[in-house]
Copies of this chain bind each other. A is one copy, B any other.
Amino acid sequence: MHAELQIDNQICFRLYTAARLVTQAYTPMLTELGITYPQYLVLMVLWEKDCQPVNDIAHRLLLETNTVTPLLQRMEKLGIVSRMKGKEDKRQHIVSLTEKGKQMEEKAMELIPTGMGKQLTTCPLKLEDYQLLAQELDAIINTLKK
C-alpha cells in the first residue's frame, strides 16, 4: 500500500468526515426549526442582507445555481422565503424572507449556539485553535475556488 494513498494521511477524508459530523451535530436543532443545513446557510445569507437574486446567494455560498434553485423552491414551499421576478432585470429572481423566515433568526439564536456548545464541551480545541483552523480552511478555500 502506497503511503501517499493511505486514508489516514488524507486531509480530504478528514474534511469530508468532519463536515458530515458537524452538519449532523446541527441537525437536532435544525429539525426543531424544520429546515436542513443548506437551507440554514441560505437563511444566514438572507438574515445578513434580505432581497437578493439567486446568483448572489449562490456566489456567497460557493454553490452553483442549479443547486440553489431547487433549494429555494423547497424553502418557498415551506413558507420561509418568497421569490419575485426582478424589476429592472427580468431574468433575475429576487429572493426575500417571509415573516416566518425573519422570525426564525431568534429561534436559531436560542437553539444553535447552546446546542452546538453542549456537543463540543469535550472537544480539546480552544478558541485560538478554532481561529487557526478557520485560517487554514480559508487558505484552502481561497486556493481552490475559481
Stretch at the interface among A22-30, A77-85, A88-96: A22-30
**A contact patch SS:** helix
Task: Determine the chain B residues whose CB is within 8 A of the CB of A7 once the complex forms.
Answer: 41, 44-45, 48, 60
Known contacts A120-B143, A144-B25; is-contact A137 B18 (Cβ 8 Å): yes
Q: Which interface residue of A18, A23, A108, A136 has the most chain B CB atoms within 10 A?
A: A18
Please give the count of copies of this chain that the complex contains.
2
Task: Determine the chain B residues whose CB is within 8 A of the CB of A109 once the complex forms.
Answer: 2, 4-5
Q: Mark A112-142, 1 if CB is under 8 A from B, else 0.
A: 1100000110111100011011101111110
Chain B minimum-CB-distance residue to A140:
B18
* A14 in complex: contacting residue of B20, B47, B138, CB < 8 Å: B138
Q: Mark A32-63, 1 if CB is under 8 A from B, else 0.
A: 00000100010011011000000000001110
Size range of the interface on A? 35 or more
Q: Are A123 and B140 in contact (CB under 8 A)?
A: yes
Q: Are A105 and B2 in contact (CB under 8 A)?
A: yes
Chain A residues in the interface with B (C-beta under 8 A): 1-2, 4-7, 10-26, 37, 41, 44-45, 47-48, 60-62, 105, 108-109, 112-113, 119-120, 122-125, 129-130, 132-134, 136-141, 143-145
Going nearest first, the 6 A-B pairs with the smallest beta carbon separation are A19-B19, A14-B137, A21-B144, A123-B143, A15-B19, A7-B44
